[in-house]
Amino acid sequence: MNNNTANHPKVSRRSFLSSTAAVGAGLIVADVIAGTAQAAPLSAKEIAALPRITQEMVAPPFLPKHDQVAKGGPKVVEVRFVIEEKKMVVDEDGSEIWALTYNGSVPGPMIVVHQDDYIELTLVNPASSVLEHNIDFHASTGALGGGALTLISPGEECVLRFRASKPGVFVYHCAPGGVMTPYHVTHGMNGAIMVLPRDGLKDKDGKPITYDKAFFVGEQDYYLPRDAEGEYIKYDVAAEDFSDYLEVAATLTPSHIVFNGAVGALTGDNALTAKAGEAVLFIHAQANRDSRPHLIGGHGDYVWSTGSFADAPQIGLETWMIAGGAAGAAIYTFKQPGLYAYVNHNLIEAIIKGAAAHVMVEGKWDDDLMMQVKKPTAIN
């Protein structure tokens, strides 16, 4: 609904005609109309000749070093995920989960590439693991998002390559099959990838949009089982909670809904920081359940609610939807100092269940935007 022809990737007449000759006019025209025009397929030999870079993964809420506008042509971007089954505390009461993680964090690390780059993931499942794991990339094209090609037992590793053919932000998650798929996803085994257009983000008129900093907020629903006294049960090893979990999960009522792994992971001393005047990109992923981000005291200046950068962003939003199984992106330029809350605006989920973050913003107050005209006094 936000499609605007001015925002579609530029395809020169020459490249359009050569692509048309190579692939067939019908397909290319359809791709251009869908706003997802992409370079022609490469042979194995051509892919082997591409430049290769290694992207160092960093723990959320931070993103790996990246260029907003691609330098040069497509690359092969190598990333490495080591699976870690680890006990994590998820709230201030010390409640625990044996989390299933990529690289030890919930959510897993953000990958950032440009459209038509190739991601080459090495997935490692250490011998110390209890379970088999894999990965399904929503950004990829191919059976099970790579799930069948990456299913590995403890003590194994594998390598998957896929082309980032569509621009946007996309969820990835573990999907070992059957009830193990929701089990792994709701034990933290999910994350997101950002595929930027090669020439960067654009508004509805095709003008460049840039950001000064970016944060990755992974929203996670947990289903912790309780004992007869109503206390959350603590388990000794990963997957020991499996049958108890199934009963709680069947209620569709999470015990916790948190940002970045635990209640308070992004609040108080862990608050995100920004300065007035900075444009901040928030990438919000929810692999399992719908959400509705809202920045209390600010707005979404530019919002890609569905996560597709082939669509023009919506502007000036108060709250936006993230469908379960998707990521979305929003940019806001802070205009006032103070403490902002970035929440799932089902406020029960934010305040009682835990889906809230803080952004501490430095800067100079602007009385034009807001001022206290009269301090609270007795009614006269």
Q: Name the residues that contact Cu ion, by CB under 5 A.
A: 100, 133, 174, 184, 189
Q: Which is nearer to Cu ion, 101 or 305 (CB)?
A: 101
Nearest distance in Å: CB 283, Cu ion: 22
319 is an active site residue: yes
Distance, CA of 266 to CA of 258 (rounded, Å): 10
Residue 187 designated active-site: no
Q: What is the DSSP string of 5-30?
A: GGGSPP--HHHHHHHHHHH-HHHHHH
**Sequential DSSP letters for 163-182:** E--S-EEEEEE---STTHHH
23 vs 148, which CB is nearer to Cu ion? 148
> Rounded to whole angstroms, how far apart are CA atoms 286 and 48?
34
Give the active site residue among 114, 294, 311, 349: 294
Q: State which residue has the least CB distance to Cu ion.
A: 174
Select which of 8, 114, 184, 284 is catalytic. Answer: 184
Give the H/E segment covering residue 78: strand 76-89
- Structure token digits, residue 172: 């990835």
For the stretch 237-241, contacts whose Cβ atoms lie closer than 8 Å and that sit 24 or more positions apart, written own/partner, are: 237/98, 237/130, 238/85, 238/98, 238/100, 238/129, 238/130, 238/131, 239/85, 239/98, 239/130, 239/131, 240/98, 241/97, 241/98
Determine which one of 114, 138, 187, 256 is catalytic: 138
Q: How far is the CB of 183 from Cu ion (least distance, A)?
A: 8
Q: How many CB atoms lie within 10 A of CB 362?
A: 13
Known catalytic residue at 174: yes
Quote the least distance from Cβ 187 to Cu ion, whole Å. Answer: 8
**Is 110 known to be catalytic?**
no
Min. distance of Cβ 174 from Cu ion in angstroms? 3
Among 150, 345, 349, 358, the active-site one is 345
Indicate the SS3 state at residue 157: strand
Q: Is 345 a catalytic residue?
A: yes
Catalytic annotation present for 8: no
Which of 85, 91, 117, 136 is an active site residue? 136
Tokens of 97: 């989960």
CB nearer to Cu ion: give 154 or 338. 154
114 catalytic, yes or no? no
Q: How many CB atoms lie within 10 A of CB 155?
A: 11
Q: Which two tokens stand for residue 336?
A: 């006032």
Coil, strand or helix at 350? helix
Q: Which of 96, 244, 290, 319 is catalytic?
A: 319
- Could you tell me the smallest distance in angstroms from the CB atom of residue 246 to Cu ion? 16
CA separation for the pair 308, 67 (Å, rounded): 19
| Nearest-approach distance from CB 181 to Cu ion, in angstroms | 9
Active site residue 236: no
Closest to Cu ion by CB, 82 vs 279, is 82
Considering beta carbons, is residue 188 or 197 the nearer one to Cu ion? 188
Taking the least distance from each CB to Cu ion, the nearer of 133 and 284 is 133
Side by side, which strands form the sheet with 314-317? 256-259, 213-222, 279-286, 326-333, 300-304, 314-317
- With respect to Cu ion, which residue has the nearer C-beta, 38 or 181? 181
Q: Of the residues 114, 133, 187, 284, which is catalytic?
A: 133
Is 136 a known active-site residue?
A: yes
Beta-bridge partner residues of 90: none
Minimum distance between the CB of residue 97 and Cu ion, rounded to whole angstroms? 14
Q: Looking at the annotation, which residues are catalytic? A: 133, 136, 138, 173-174, 184, 189, 294, 318-319, 345
